[in-house]
Structure 1
Amino acid sequence: MDARFLGIAELAEVPSVAVVVDVMRAYTVAAWAFAQGAEKIVLAESLGDALALKTRHPEWVALKDGPAAPGFDAVNSPGLLRSIDLGGRTVVQKTTAGTVGALAVKDAPLVLCAGFVVAEATARLLRTRKSDSVTFVVTGENGQADEDLACAQYIARRVTEAGVDAAEFLRRAAESRAAAELTEGVRQGAHPDDVALCLELDRFPFAMVATLEDSLMVLRPCAVPSLSGEASV
């Protein structure tokens, strides 16, 4: 598999397969939202768009980066979201980098959104699709976020290699700037457990697939059954 690792600004063409990585915290939060029962997540282009969607659909749950704000129901924190019952609900998510990355590749035939919590399921889906070329979109810090790059590199290795040790990749993420800022309280709208939750490898058994539905970029969980004979992969 030919894997490319690009920042959002480096996306010069529409990839055939894109894996958008935001470990801290957009796609860890998205995975938790599905685990808490959410049916789908609408990835909003702006805070204004998120609020407009919330106005049209008052029953939807809107969340954003940073501190709580009028019109939003939650913040982009897995530690805070894990206590919210989202059974059957639609979530509207707007974040600084993760949602931006997914919208940047919205025309790609296959768009996956990922973090460490869904790494194996994401790799397995790429294996089932037999993807020859995959573009990993490293969303944080203009493509330089080491937690996102480490996760992307781990997933890429996991697609083709058996027994990949995740320890070094997780160490890089734990020592990243994002982890330090969350731990030190630089980033608002956080919970003390956020970093640890973002580093839980394969916490959830599903991948997350984003597709255009009526002009909206919609993220949904995707069950990925094990392939016959792949137990050792």
Structure 2
Amino acid sequence: MRPTFTGIGRLSPPPDVAVVVDVMRAFTVAAWAFRLGAERIVFAETLDEALELKGRNADWLAFQDGPPVEGFDLANSPARLRDMDVAGRTIVQKTTAGTTGALAAGDARLLLCASFAVAGATAELLRARRPEAVTFVVTGDGGRAEEDLACAQYIAELAIAGHADPAPYLGRARRSDGAARLAEGVRRGDAGIDADDAEVCLAADAFPFAMAAAWEHGRLVLRPVRH
């Protein structure tokens, strides 16, 4: 397997196999949603589209990033999600980095979304599929987010070698600008950030499933996949 690491803006032509990484916090939220029993996650391109989809489906939930927005059920906090009842629900998700990256890579033959929480299972799926090349999409900070790159490189090492120590990769993520911004948000008392978010995002290999996205009825839909 030959890994390539790139940003959202450099995905032309579409990769054959893509792993879109958003550690802090979209795909940690997604992983926790599936851990808590959510059925699927539908990616929206805009906040208005997310609210429209929720409005047309009374039992759907809507998640976004940034400060809380009226009409949305969660502001992208994995720590707060742990206290929600999402079993059997469909979630509409719109974030600046993660869902944007997934939509940009939507034409990949195999499209996986990942964070540290599902890194091991994602690597196992790649080992089983044995692709010649994999494009890892670093979604944060214009393709420069250290926490996303560290997670992507951890998955790549696991997929190629079959084993890897997560500690050095988690250390890089813990020292990243993304982690620093979460800590600053906690200090400021930002409503959309929980004090436990960073640590939840830095729990490696927490869940035994990968997350694969595919088009369903014109929408890009994420579902858990167990190898």
TM-score (norm 1): 0.94
The aligned residue for residue 149 of structure 1 is 149
Offset, 1:67? 2.0
Q: How far apart are the structure 2 equivalents of 1:130 and 1:3?
A: 12
Match of 2:198 among 195, 212, 220: 195
The aligned residue for residue 53 of structure 2 is 53
- Aligned-residue CA RMSD (Å): 1.0
Q: How far apart are the structure 1 equivalents of 2:206 and 2:164?
A: 17
Stretch of structure 1 that moved more, 155-164 or 165-174? 155-164
Offset, 1:160? 1.2
Contact 2:2 2:133 in 1 (8 A): yes
Structure 2 unmatched runs, 5+: none
Amino acid at match of 1:191: D
The aligned residue for residue 170 of structure 2 is 170
Residue by residue, what CA displacement relative to the aligned partner does 1:175-224 show, whole Å, maximum 9, x if unpaired?
00110110121665111110000010111110000000001000000011
Matches within 5 A, 1:37-186: 37-185=37-185
Structure in which a larger fraction of residues adopt helix:
2
Residue by residue, what CA displacement relative to the aligned partner does 1:5-42 show, whole Å, maximum 9, x if unpaired?
01001112111100000000000000000111100000
Residue by residue, what CA displacement relative to the aligned partner does 1:125-148 show, whole Å, maximum 9, x if unpaired?
001111111000000000000000
* Identity value in percent: 57
Tell me the SS of whatever aligns to 1:184. Answer: helix
Amino acid at match of 1:205: P
Tell me the SS of whatever aligns to 1:75. Answer: coil
Q: How far apart are the structure 2 equivalents of 1:32 and 1:165?
A: 23
Amino acid at match of 1:219: L
Runs of 4+ in 1 over 4 A off after TM superposition: none
Residue by residue, what CA displacement relative to the aligned partner does 1:112-159 show, whole Å, maximum 9, x if unpaired?
000000000000000111111100000000000000000001100110
Corresponding residue pairs, total: 224
Q: How far apart are the structure 1 equivalents of 2:210 and 2:162?
A: 19
Tell me whether 1:204 sits opposite 2:207 in the alignment. Answer: yes
Residue by residue, what CA displacement relative to the aligned partner does 1:63-95 show, whole Å, maximum 9, x if unpaired?
100222211111101011010011100000000
Structure 1 unmatched runs, 5+: 225-233
TM-score (norm 2): 0.96
The aligned residue for residue 224 of structure 2 is 221
Amino acid at match of 2:149: L
Tell me the SS of whatever aligns to 1:74. Answer: coil
Q: How far apart are the structure 2 equivalents of 1:160 and 1:3?
A: 9
Tell me whether 1:3 sits opposite 2:6 in the alignment. Answer: no
